[in-house]
Structure 1
Amino acid sequence: MSRQKSSRKIQTVLGTIDAEDTGIALTHEHILCDASFLFTEPEIASQKLLSHARVSIENLEWIKRNQNRCLDNLKLLNEERAIIELDRFKKGGGGTVVDVGNIGLHRNPKGLARISRATDVNIVMGAGYYIGQSHPSELHSKTEDEIVEEIVRDITVGVGGTGIKAGILGEIGCSYPLKETEIKVLGAVALTQQKTGVPVNIHPGHSQAAPIEIIELLNDNGGDINNTVMSHVENRHGNDFDLTSELADLGASSSTIASVTPKIQLCSPIKQFMGSLIGNG
């Protein structure tokens, strides 16, 4: 007897696929991105050379402590390298990668499509805006409705003139405290989710209070909390499992809390965090 597929569809950069056809999926990745807006050049003269050097095994330890002071560490622009890495993922049984780069992280629809074709890996592309520091100046004058219209178009028509559609709202960047434009974007994201049913992925600000504050704001604006992913929780809540439990309780049992870090080199106690989650059931 053949397995009957559900009606659930996932939008990839090459078109829609059945949810059952995703295979093993990486749900928060950056295949191609440019976060150079975060770059801060060191004041110490001896470190200036390091800040403009390519990432290598020789400078890796320094980069782990200075991730935003190495320009090369903030960029993933090499399509050929991405193809090599995703080929490994495919050969290992992988099927789908969610690239949560959006406006602010210089998403590259055509590049992602080329990589998907070359590797036969499904790629889901992000929509919306990253953190306020990366927001374009014109966002300040845009209304919430205008932002909704823009994001809905990226999902239903395609980004720019490419015809390549986004399949996830995210990662939606937030600072702490939230900036004015970030609050406006979160409201627009909730409205967009109502119109499209697309899942949301949140990048919370660097505070223990940030994840819960954002979930409450999305909920107040009509967002679907059960279809929302809160990323980087291990960096925000640390070992405070009570906060993580409270975050889950704000939604429903199906709410998703993600423990993921960016592709850039960071020091993060993920093992301890995951151990805490497992240990607490």
Structure 2
Amino acid sequence: MTGYTLMHEHTTIDLSGVKQDADCRLDCYEQTREEYRHLYELGVRRIVDVTNDGMGRNPEYIARMAQETGISIVQSTGFYKEPFLPERVYQQTVSKLADWMVSELCSGIQGGPRARMIGEIGTSKNCMTEMEQKVFQAAAITARETGAPIYTHTTLGTYALEQAEFFRAQGLPLDRIVLGHIDLSGDLDYIRRILDTGICIGFDTVGKNNYFPDEKRAEYLMELEREGRMGQIVLSEDLTRKSHLKEFGGIGYSYLFETFLPMLRAAGMKQESVDQMLIHNPARILGDA
């Protein structure tokens, strides 16, 4: 796959029921299509959509978006985190949940295209609940059986070392697992400790300055480049709300390329590091290389 890959996005998502906020139902097809077409012009050729069961996943919507924009959109299987888990997680065994994920990876989602990613599976702030542990166990079984990569959610970057230890204990290849939202930890030493395990991390909330400023993201990435750690990092924005789209006053999906990468380049980041995070690491994680 040539071109850039965004490793953690949502083409459409609906968390509005739990959050009681209509803004959390991202279903703006025309606006998203125009933004994705602009991403194509900027060199993006693939987006990993980590919307799964219980998050308002819509395989047909995504397939049509891919066809109309020219961007390959990787679909995902799995379950998110509490309180967004579907009833099947509470009712079924770990084995049954794994069987369901294996089926989506091997036979297709609702008769449509096959999933290629297990994700985003998540933990709560500073802990893994009993049901979240059930999902992680099912995901590990699925990954061993299918070889599929895993993308996780950490709440504000917490519980990442524990996630890494869980996957290590399961015997999974850590270089094909990405721990999400690690930029939100706001702790460079903690980030180093996570990277020391050999697992990959997402600086995947780029542009969400209300959580953590991009100036610090850039500062951290420049330091990690100096330390030779670019081979474990991927980038994305994780847009989830209508108000994140440009037409409604948000930064839009192109912010990473039009604002953040120029910030990195102005700070002295090498193009080979940018390519590592947006081309080569995604290719390895997704099994292209």
Task: Confirm or deny a common fold (TM above 0.5).
Answer: yes
1:227 equivalent among 169, 173, 176: 176
Distance in 2 of aligned mates of 1:115 and 1:128: 21
Question: 1:1-150, aligned counterparts within 5 Å?
Answer: 21-40=1-20, 71-150=21-100
Q: Return the structure number with greater helix share.
A: 2
Deviation at 1:265, TM superposition (A): 8.4
% identical equivalent positions: 28
**Cα offset, 1:207, TM superposition:** 5.9
Quote the Cα distance in structure 2 between the aligned partners of 1:241 and 1:265.
Answer: 17
The answer (yes or no) to whether the contact 2:206–2:214 under 8 Å persists in 1 is no
Q: 1:260 aligns with which of 185, 204, 208?
A: 204
Q: Find the counterpart in structure 1 of residue 262 from structure 2.
A: none
2:192 alignment partner, one of 239, 245, 251: 245
In structure 2, the residue matched to 1:163 is 112
How much has 1:83 moved relative to structure 2? 1.1
**Closer, same or farther: CA 181–262 of 1 in aligned 2, 3 Å:** farther
Q: What is the CA–CA distance in structure 2 between the aligned matches of 1:197 and 1:34, rounded to whole Å? A: 28
2:256 aligned with 1:276, yes or no? no
Aligned to 1:216: 165
Q: Deviations over 1:128-176 (max 9, x none)?
A: 001121112332231111111000111111112x322111111112113
Corresponding letter in the other structure for 2:132: E
What is the aligned residue count? 224
* Structure with more contact order per residue of length (Cα contacts < 8 Å, sep ≥ 6): 2
Shift of 1:263: 8.7
Deviation at 1:214, TM superposition (A): 1.0
Select the structure of larger CA radius of gyration.
Answer: 1
TM-score normalised by structure 2 residue count? 0.72
User: Which one of the candidate residues 201, 207, 221 is aligned to 2:151?
Assistant: 201
Tell me the distance in 2 between the aligned counterparts of 1:79 and 1:213.
Answer: 37
Give the TM-score of the pair, scaled to structure 1: 0.74
SS at match of 1:134: coil
Match of 2:121 among 172, 184, 198: 172
Equivalent residues of 1:234, 1:269 under 8 A apart: no
Structure 2 counterpart of 1:140, which letter? Y
Query: SS of the counterpart of 1:258?
Result: strand
* CA–CA separation in structure 1 for the residues paired with 2:207 and 2:100: 28
Query: Gapped runs of 5+ residues in structure 1?
Result: 1-20, 41-70
* Aligned 8 A contact 1:218 1:225 in 2: yes
- Corresponding residue for residue 192 of structure 1: 142
Give unpaired runs (5+ residues) of structure 2: 228-289
Determine the C-alpha separation between the residues in 2 that align with 1:101 and 1:39.
16
On the 8 A contact 2:89/2:135 being kept in 1, the answer is no
Report the Cα distance in structure 2 between the residues aligned to 1:78 and 1:112, rounded to whole angstroms. 12
- Give 3-state SS (helix, strand or coil) of 2:75's partner: strand
Query: How well do the aligned residues superpose, as a CA RMSD in angstroms?
Result: 2.0
For the 8 Å contact 1:170–1:202, the answer to whether it is kept is yes
